[in-house]
Amino acid sequence: MSSHDQESTRPLGDGSDASLQNVHADLTANKPEPKDGYSMLPLFLLGLLSALIFVGSIYFVHYRGGVDPLVYDERFDPKTAAKSATVATVDPIAAGKRLYNQPGACATCHQVNGQGVAGVFPPLAASEWVSGSDERLIRLVLHGLVGEIKVKGNTYNGAMPAFGLGSGFNWSDEKVAHVLTYIRSEWGNAAPAVDVAKVTAVRTQATAGRTKPWTAVELEAVP
């Protein structure tokens, strides 16, 4: 016979109030105390759910087929979008101006107004070097300059760092072309823009393997 059966057949005494109270107290004492709130989710089950969510997220990212979960437009028509799509273009002068004025870049020495510092850093405004041969100018920016250089009748003796790929600035050919295009069209200068392909050709063909800076004498020999 089970304990439940034993409790259900337990005699209730003489039926008096005192006897019933004693039986009720005995039954209450054998029951566990009730608890407030909710029982905790087993840790192994919580870990399993977390792992499933994590694996599912990675699976979706790798196999979503180009679907952007943040963008949805039921009116989207791939055929119409392909016809109306336009390629974003970069304004080389605006891009060059941003590069020129970067901390530690050109404006640090040549100043925002292109006037340089008298006796120390040569000006770029109305400079024969800026408006002259772009072949020389590309080399100068790619690899830097050391020694004396004469600009607008004044002699400067110092050093200019390299800005091209592999230098401390590590500017791409596109960035070099942009900054040169900017300085050749600013502060009254009116020289043609510098093409990215020409910068690449000078770097990979005409000056391939060069790592040291130029001298003004070397650059003057470049047409």
Taking only the tens of pLDDT, the chain with its 223 residues reads 445 444 444 455 555 666 666 766 666 666 666 666 566 667 777 788 888 887 887 776 666 655 665 555 666 666 666 665 555 689 999 999 999 999 999 999 999 999 999 999 999 999 999 999 999 999 999 999 999 999 999 999 989 999 999 999 999 999 999 999 999 999 999 999 999 999 999 999 999 999 999 999 999 999 9
Residue among 95, 140, 98, 103 nearest 122 (CA): 140
Which residues have a Cβ under 8 Å from the Cβ of 106 and sit 6 or more positions away? 99, 100, 124, 179, 183
pTM of the model as a whole = 0.62
Residues 112, 114, 117, 118: is their CA dihedral positive or negative?
Answer: negative
The helices-and-strands tally (H runs, E runs) of the chain is 11, 2
Burial class of residue 140 in the structure, from the number of CB atoms within 10 Å of its CB (0-12 exposed, 13-18 middle, 19+ buried): buried
> What tokens appear for 67 in the block?
């679907």
Residue extents of the structural domains in the chain: 92-220
Question: Selecting from 3.40.640.10, 1.20.140.150, 1.10.760.10, 3.40.50.450, what CATH number does the domain 92-220 have?
Answer: 1.10.760.10
- Between the CA of residue 9 and those of 2, 22, 48, what are the distances in Å? 11, 15, 47
